[in-house]
Chains A and B, each alone.
Chain A
Amino acid sequence: MCGIVGLFLKDKALEPRLGEMLTDMLITMSDRGPDSAGIAVYGQDRDGLGKLTVQSSDPTGFDKLGGLSSAIGAEVSVRVVDTHAVLEMPEDKITQARAYLRENHPDIRVMSAGEVIEIYKEVGLPGDVAKRFDIPQLHGSHGIGHTRMATESAVTTLGAHPFSTGSDQCLVHNGSLSNHNALRRELRHQGVTVETENDTEVAAAYLTWRLQEGDTLGQALEAGLDDLDGFYTFVVGTKDGFGVLRDPIACKPAVMAETDQYVAFGSEYRALVNLPGIEDAKVWEPEPATVYFWRH
C-alpha cells in the first residue's frame, strides 16, 4: 500500500496555495504510507536559470559546495532546507554541475534537476517530512506527493518517491513491478542509468528513455502498458504536464476530481475533501489501462 496525491492547477490564483493544499492531502494519506514521504513541486520558470535539488545525510555536507561555482564558471545560489539544498544556476550549466558533484561529492545525491522542479523526500511520517521541508509555503503550478509503505526495496531516503530521472520529470507509484530487474538491465544497454534497487525508479527511467526517443508523455505511458509488468497506479509530472496511468488489473485505488480551478488526484477520496469546490467537482475513478494527461 502507498498513498498518492497530485494537484494540477488551472487557476493561477491558487498557485501560492499549492504547497499548503498538497500538504493537507499528503497528511490525510499517512496511514497508506507511514514509512517515508516525498513531494515534487513545479515552481516558477525563471528565464535562463535552472535548479538542482540535492540531498546529503551529513548536515555539514553542503559546506563543501563552495567549489561548485568556480568549477562550472557560473554563480550558484545555495538554499539549504534541512537535508536538502536547492542549487540555482544557469540552466546550461546543470549537466556540468551534476558531473562535478558525481566526481567530487558522491555523498551529495541529486533528487531532481530541471528548470522548475524541486523534490523533497525523507524517511518519516508525511506530516513530519512536510514540516521539515516547510512544504506548505511552496508555490507552484502543479505538484505530486507520495506516502510510502515499502515493499520492493528498503526504507531509505533514496527509496522514497517521487523519482526523477529526467529534466523536470517525476513519477510516483502505488504498486509493485515484477519485471524491474530485466528492464533495468535493458535500460542500461540503452545508456540509461538507474541509481537504486527500487522498482519505481525503473519505471521513471523507462519513461525518461521513451521521452528521449521522441515520445510525448502520452505515447510513453501507452508504451509502458506493454513493457511494464506488475501492479501500478502512476502519477507523473513534466514541466507543464500531469499524467495518470493505472495497470489493466487496476487494483491500486485512484480517485480524480476536476473543476475549473484544478485537476486533483488522490489514492482515496478522503485526500480530496478539503479542496475548494470539491462538492461540485466532477469526481471519477480513472479507467484501467487508460492514459490521462493534462497540460498547461
Chain B
Amino acid sequence: MQVLDLSEITLREANAALQNPTEGSNETAWEIVNARGSHAIAVGLDAPIDVQVRGSTGYYCAGMNAQATVRVDGNVGPGAGENMMSGALIVEGDASQYAGATGHGGLLVIKGNASSRCGISMKGIDIVVHGNVGHMSAFMAQKGHLVICGDAGDALGDSIYEAQLFVRGSVKSLGADCVEKEMRPEHLEKLAELLKAGECDAKPEEFKRYGSARELYNFNIDNAY
C-alpha cells in the first residue's frame, strides 16, 4: 500500500503519482489520507489501480476516471465521477449534486443519498444509489443505468433518451417524456447484476422500471408555440 498524504504533498503531486503508476508494477493499492474536502482528488486516472480515499472530498472526485477503482469512506462534493469512462467510484457516504454527470462507462456506487441532478446527461455509466436521489436526476440521460434503492425527487428522467432507470421507493414526479415501463426478465437479470456490483442486497423484484416514452424524438407540430 502506497500512501499519499495531502497534508504533506500537493494535490497535483498526488494526482500525478496516481496518473503515472510504474508500468508493470505490482503496487496497485494506493491510499489518500487527509482529503479534508479537497477538490479533484484522483481525477484523470487511467490504470487498473485501487485508490482508497480517507475522509470526505470536494468537487469532482474521480472525475474522468478510466480503469481505476476509487473508494471514498466519507461524503463526496459536487460532480463526483463526472465523465467517468470505465472503472469504479464507490462512495460510503452521501454525494452532492450531479454525481456521475455525463459518465460514459464504469460504475458509480453511492451508499448514502445522492443530491440533485444525479446522472445528468449520463452516456453509458451505471449508477447504483443505496439511498435517495434529488430532483432532476437522469435529466437527458442517454445510455446506461441508474438504480435508486430509495426515493427519487421531482422530475426524474426529464427528456430522457435510452438510459434505464430502476426505482425501489417512491418517485415524487416524473419529468417530461419519462414513463414507467414493463419490467421484463432481461431487466430483472440486468438489475440483479447491477445490485450485486453495487454491493447492495435489495431484491430486483422490489423495483419499478422507468424510461423514455420516445415522444420527444420527433418534432410534433402541436408542441410549437
Contacts and interface: CB of A to CB of B under 8 A. Distances in A.
B94 A253 contact: no
B83 interface: no
B135 A288 contact: yes
Given A253-B97, A273-B36, A268 B77 contact: yes
Nearest to B114: A285
B56 interface: yes
Q: Interface of chain A, helix or strand or loop or mixed?
A: loop
Contact of A251 (B37, B58, B75, B97): B97
A288 B75 CA distance: 19
Interface string B10-43: 0000000000000000000000000011110000
A100 interface: no
Interface in A257-296: 268-273, 283-285, 287-288
A284 B94 contact: yes
A268 B58 contact: yes
Contacts of A271: 37
A271 B77 CA distance: 12
B137 interface: no
A270 B97 contact: no
B144 interface: no
A89 to B, nearest CB: 43
Nearest to A28: B37
B56 A269 contact: yes
A270 B59 CA distance: 10
Interface in A218-254: 248-251, 253
A253 B75 CA distance: 14
Interface residues of B, number: 18
A269 B78 contact: no
B116 interface: yes
A37 to B, nearest CB: 20
A284 B134 CA distance: 13
Interface residues on A, range: 10 to 19
Contacts of A249: 116
B94 to A, nearest CB: 7
Which of B57, B115, B134 is the most central at the interface, judged by chain A CB atoms within 10 Å of its CB? B115
B159 interface: no
Nearest to B57: A269
A269 B116 contact: no
A285 B97 CA distance: 9
A242 B31 CA distance: 38
A287 B116 CA distance: 9
A33 to B, nearest CB: 16
A250 B58 contact: no
Nearest to B153: A288
Contacts of A287: 134
Contact of A269 (B58, B134, B135): B58
A130 B116 CA distance: 34
A283 B56 CA distance: 10
A27 to B, nearest CB: 14
B37 A288 contact: no
Nearest to A274: B36
A194 B84 CA distance: 47
Nearest to A254: B96
Contact of B77 (A248, A250, A253): A253
Contacts of B58: 268-270
A272 B77 CA distance: 13
A270 B61 CA distance: 14
A272 B96 contact: no
Contact of B116 (A255, A284, A288): A288
15 contacts: A248-B135, A249-B116, A250-B115, A250-B135, A253-B77, A253-B96, A253-B97, A268-B58, A270-B37, A271-B37, A273-B37, A283-B56, A285-B94, A285-B96, A287-B134
Q: List 4 tightest A-B contacts by C-beta distance, closest first.
A: A270-B37, A269-B37, A273-B36, A269-B56
Given A249-B116, A250-B135, 15 more contacts: A248-B135, A251-B97, A251-B116, A253-B77, A253-B96, A268-B59, A269-B37, A269-B56, A269-B75, A270-B39, A272-B37, A283-B75, A284-B94, A285-B115, A288-B135
